[in-house]
Chain A
Amino acid sequence: GAVVSQHPSWVICKSGTSVKIECRSLDFQATTMFWYRQFPKQSLMLMATSNEGSKATYEQGVEKDKFLINHASLTLSTLTVTSAHPEDSSFYICSARLRDQETQYFGPGTRLLVL
């Protein structure tokens, strides 16, 4: 159990377009989902924490108008990179957590390449 999926796994887009990444908990209800980005050989940087039914909490330095997060249900959170630019190219990973539990279950990640 406790599987988290992400879609798409790979996306290439033109500069200025918006890209939506989905994060789903397949066999459990995730009250909290986290979004991270990772640059090559670096640690995962927490971007935001989203709780079902409420607004996401963004980390310092992360533009909430650029990285739109919607946690519409207990099994789905989406991250939309608006007006993407080449510097947004990165590896985006989500994780999900059950209510009152500490363990985070990580998705496989989505690689975004903005041309």
Chain B
Amino acid sequence: QKEVEQDPGPLSVPEGAIVSLNCTYSNSAFQYFMWYRQYSRKGPELLMYTYSSGNKEDGRFTAQVDKSSKYISLFIRDSQPSDSATYLCAMSEFFDSGAGSYQLTFGKGTKLSVIP
């Protein structure tokens, strides 16, 4: 079993829909959870970063972490065609605010298409 599972999609939704992207994990030591957005031929852009269980909101994006279920989600409200990209979850046991990330485990990524 892979440490991080993420449905690769593709996922197609109409413009304006609420999108739910999810990852499950098996390593209970993961404490830091990240969501990246990657457009074709670009590097992954960090969207959200969370540490504890619960919700974190940033504009149209909400990241949710449920450590008891080992399940994380990213919700996109009022989805736009410009949200069409691959979304990657990543997680780590460690983080040093001075030095940054350490030993990330990535999901495979979910390809999202928002249809106008």
Contacts and interface: CB of A to CB of B under 8 A. Distances in A.
A40 B103 contact: no
B109 A104 contact: yes
Contacts of B90: 106
Interface string A1-12: 010000001100
Contacts of A39: 100
Interface stretch (A15-23, A66-74, A88-96): A88-96
Contacts of B86: 102
A9 B103 contact: yes
A42 B99 contact: no
Contacts, number: 66
B116 interface: no
B101 A46 contact: no
Given A103-B108, A108-B105, A40 B46 contact: no
B106 interface: yes
Q: Which of A2, A9, A38, A109 has the most chain B CB atoms closer than 10 A to its own CB?
A: A109
Interface of A: 2, 9-10, 34, 36, 38-46, 89-91, 93, 102-106, 108-109, 111, 113
Given A2-B108, A40-B100, 15 more contacts: A9-B103, A34-B43, A36-B43, A39-B100, A40-B101, A41-B100, A43-B36, A91-B99, A91-B101, A102-B40, A102-B111, A104-B38, A105-B108, A106-B90, A111-B99
